[in-house]
Amino acid sequence: MNVVAVPEFQHRTVLLDEAVDALDLTGVRADGTYIDGTFGRGGHSRLILSHLGPNGRLFAFDKDLQAIATAGQITDARFEIVHDSFATMAQALAARGVDRVDGILLDLGISSPQVDDAARGFSFRNDGPLDMRMDTTRGVSAADWLASETEQQLERVIRNYGEERFAFQIAKAIVARRAVEPISSTRQLAGIVANAVKTREKGKDPATRTFQAIRIFINKELEDLETGLSAAYAMLAPGARMAVISFHSLEDRMVKQFLASKVKVEQPDRRLPIRAVDLPQPLMKLISKMKPSELEVEGNPRSRSAVMRVAERLPESRPNRSGP
């Protein structure tokens, strides 16, 4: 792999102490095995390592080459970075002889350095190439996708992934503009959206939802989250915790519904002759739901929308069939 220079962009890890505390790295758990599903610039990983015992292990995942380069600066033998999505955690750790872990942290979305680097194309605030890929070595760029996708699919993506009520007008405007010239820069796309959106949300740029939608679609973020949540649950040892930090309603809704499916179990008709010990039991229990403090939001306004949900895998109950 080529060495990637890491630009000097500031990043503040959201819910840093709270997320690591939620994993409960105390006692014998300090020598357990953990996953940081989104390394980013390593804030959570470094704090986890500071709590790990000598026999502890931490596997981190990221698709971003700059994140991989930053992770390469960590020389701790207990740490390993995997250049891939956290959705592949089961296969990646199986290849390393690991099938159970003692805690998993998923910090979703994009990092401040990715947003602030105009060359990545994630933000409309500074002009740059319309790329938006987390991993620039794989997949189709946003510019190439906008150049070839049908108007109907553009509308569907912008509406479903951006929750944008003017998706039809935006998709129509994109198709009209690309017939005249290629849409290759963030400023071009932001201008097209601004002209198509009839009313603006207070304090929000009209391009916000469209950029979010395209980024989520291009990087298969919701597909990765769906796969990753199931893989994470399957890998958690009894008593192990999963903490997930999300930054928009689509992600948080998926996390909330997934955890609810493990916490709540359908009970049979009470009139049936079933012993209490044989009744279906919940698979997880909710530990907490948390948002950044006012102090954190004041120091880092981008943390405002963050929500962290924490759940713990319960021991599997085995019916006692020795009785009558």
Binding residues: 42-44, 62, 86, 107, 114
Q: Is 166:197 a contact under the CB 8 Å cutoff?
A: yes
Non-local (6+) Cβ contacts of 51 within 8 A are: 20, 25, 30
- Which residues make up each annotated binding site for S-adenosyl-L-methionine? 42-44, 62, 86, 107, 114
Count, residues in the chain:
324
Q: Is 244:273 a contact under the CB 8 Å cutoff?
A: no
Closest CA to 59 of 1, 4, 116, 105: 105
Within a 10 A sphere around the Cβ of 108, how many other Cβ atoms? 23
Non-local (6+) Cβ contacts of 232 within 8 A are: 35, 37, 86, 89, 104, 106, 242
